[in-house]
Amino acid sequence: MNSSYTTLENSKNGILIPVKNRIYVCSKYDPVHEAEIFASQFEKKEKFFVVAGLCSGWHIEKLLTESFDRKIIIVENDIEDFKFLRQIPLCSKLLEDRRIIFSTPQSLFTDILSNYLPAIYGNLNFCFLRGWENAFFDKMQLIKTIVEKAIKTVKADFAVQSHFGKIWNKNIFENLKIASEQKNASQMIENLKKNNKVTAAIIAAGPTLDTTIEKLKKNPGKYFIISTDTAYSSLLRSKIVPDVVVSIDGQNISYSHFLHQAQKNKTIFAFDLCANSIPAKKISVQKNKILFFESGHPLSTIASHFNGTSFIHLNSGSGTVTIAATDLAFFLGFEKIEFFGADFAYLNGKPYAKGTYLDDIFYKKQNRLSTAEQSFCTLMYRTKLIYLEEKKITTEVLESYRFSLETYLKNPGKSISVEIKDFNFEIFNTFFKKKLLSLPENFTGELTNQFFYPLLPVMAFYEKTHSIQDSYKLARADCLRYTY
């Protein structure tokens, strides 16, 4: 067993404790008293903890006994350390506790994102025993950095849920009705896969698209074009009809991306179930093909796996349509991928390529006192800018998008063979309504029922002005309203 710990010893009061190179990771005199002092620094209302070090287990036991509904992620250097600590009876008992997630630095970021729900747990508390920090001082900075980055990511996601939670709910129900009218999605996917021997061109709407678009014009047979919704109108104005257009934006403004859409063409429109439903309605009426997908919203996921698999799953990173478009390319089996306009920066004073929906909006509204150029400047300077180099600037949000794409490309999606069944909204609606009605009228904090999770984004929306109990009731009522 290749553990970071070197031995087990008895403390002065006879409790078995781990040691690393003669450094005691918890009190060598009285670990239980140390655990009591450790737990006393937290109020009972604190529910979520990331603890560096399982140690002898007494500090974890104390956190759990003081408040039963707490959730704890324990980090050790390696899975072998947990195996070593199993020799301690209390640690062996804790390893079976369902309230605890056992993590390592390699999985910690994902474990926090998967388990920490701010709407339910409130603050995240990162803590450790001083002895463990002394023994693993070289690892502590890495763990702290991972926790800080994860908290920042979760907070950003929660802020998005607070803004979009109710909008997504509405969009999903409306898109599910449209999806019920779409047939033969599996055949559509198989037809798309027939093109995967060429290069997939992922088209974003960054400023460099103004020049690189010429490459698409000169090589019409070389690329299978997967466009983001923002770049769609730019391509059409250059007389380029993309093979697929991907949209994930839930806002009403996303309808502007499709104003110049042809009455009927070869393009397949891939919509996240969370995306704004107005373009989907228009495209459906025009008899164009729509391929709906889900990207992790709990309501979309439940709908997708109801009575089989009805929608493909695509990764959209931190809500980045470029990642969703890229993941679709990998899902379809493309091995060669090339990016156009994926700048994640403002270049030469330009936020976007020519021909996007912003051109229509800003130039139509301009006058002598408020020009389109002023509107573009307001857009760019609405948040703090980060200057990368001459004529190239970015923002924290754009940097997070770039980081998400780079992280995704280190471990991209793979081509998957899955039979997509036609979706029946009426049957699902009856089923989901029954499940919602079976949930308790008051929030109990119990998270084992999977049908509670679709309420979380809506609860985040209501928590801006309401208590968690009222947010739960409003979210449940909001979902029920769409099932009648």
Question: How would residue 375 be classed by pLDDT, with cut points 50, 70 and 90?
Answer: low
Q: Pick the residue with more confidence: 445 or 132?
A: 132
| Mean predicted confidence (pLDDT) in 171-183 | 95
pLDDT at 202 over 90: yes
User: 359 vs 281, which has greater pLDDT?
Assistant: 281
- Would you state the pLDDT for residue 2? 79
Report the chain's mean pLDDT, rounded to a whole number: 88
Contact at 8 Å (CB) between 78 and 1? Answer: no
Whole-number pLDDT of residue 62: 96
Kindly indicate the confidence band of residue 401, based on its pLDDT and cuts at 50, 70 and 90. confident
Give the pLDDT confidence score for residue 454 in this predicted structure: 93
Distance CA 426, CA 180 (A): 9
The kind and range of the H/E element at 408 are helix 396-410
Residue predicted with more confidence, 176 or 113: 176
Burial (CB count <10 Å: 0-12, 13-18, 19+), residue 14: exposed
pLDDT at 363: 46
CB–CB of 241/387 below 8 Å? Answer: no
CB 17 within 8 Å of CB 10: yes
Residue 441 has pLDDT above 80, yes or no: yes
Secondary structure letter of residue 272 according to DSSP: E
d(CA 147, CA 151): 6
Q: What is the pLDDT of residue 49?
A: 97
Q: For residue 94, how many C-alpha atoms fall within 13 Å in the half-sphere facing its CB?
A: 29
Poorest-pLDDT segment among 39-53, 79-93, 318-332, 435-449: 435-449
Q: How far is CA 289 from CA 227, 257, 268, 308, 331, in A?
A: 15, 17, 5, 22, 18
| pLDDT tens track for 148-173 | 989 988 887 787 788 889 999 999 99
* Spatial separation of the C-alpha atoms in residues 268 and 189, rounded to whole Å: 10
- Is the pLDDT score of 358 beyond 80? no
The per-residue pLDDT for 261 is 64
What 3-state DSSP class applies to 16? strand
Cβ-contact 265, 338 below 8 angstroms: no
Residue 378, by phi and psi: left (phi above 0), alpha (psi -120 to 50) or beta?
alpha
Instruction: Report the distance separating Cα 394 and Cα 383, nearest Å.
Output: 10
Q: Binning pLDDT at 50, 70 and 90, where does residue 361 land?
A: low
Q: Specify the DSSP class assigned to residue 162.
A: H
Q: In angstroms, rounded to a whole number, what is the distance separating the alpha carbons of residues 467 and 192?
A: 47
Distance CA 47, CA 89 (A): 25
- The confidence score (pLDDT) of residue 410 equals 87
Q: In the chain, what is the straight-line distance between the N-terminal and C-terminal CA atoms, in Å?
A: 59
| pTM of the full structure | 0.77
Could you tell me the two tokens for 176?
Answer: 């599910």
Reply yes or no on whether the pLDDT at 392 is more than 90: no
Instruction: Answer yes or no: is pLDDT of 263 > 60.
Output: no
Q: Tell me how crowded residue 450 is: count the other CB atoms within 10 A of its CB.
A: 11
Buried b (16+ CB within 10 A) or exposed e, 215-242: ebeeeeeebbbbbbbbbbbbbbebebeb
Assigned token pair, 234: 């730019």
Per-residue pLDDT, averaged over 107-113, amounts to 91
Per residue in 203-260, pLDDT (tens digit) is 998 889 999 999 999 998 899 999 999 999 899 989 999 999 999 988 877 777 787 6
Question: Would you call 274 helix, strand, or coil by DSSP?
Answer: coil
R_g over Cα of the chain: 26
Q: What is the mean pLDDT of residues 122-151?
A: 93
Contact in structure between 32 and 15 (CB atoms under 8 Å): yes
Q: Tokens in use for 431?
A: 């089923």
Percent of the chain with pLDDT over 90: 59
Return the DSSP state at 350: B
pLDDT given for residue 332 in this prediction: 96
Amino acid identity for residue 49 in this structure = F
pLDDT > 70: percent of the chain: 91
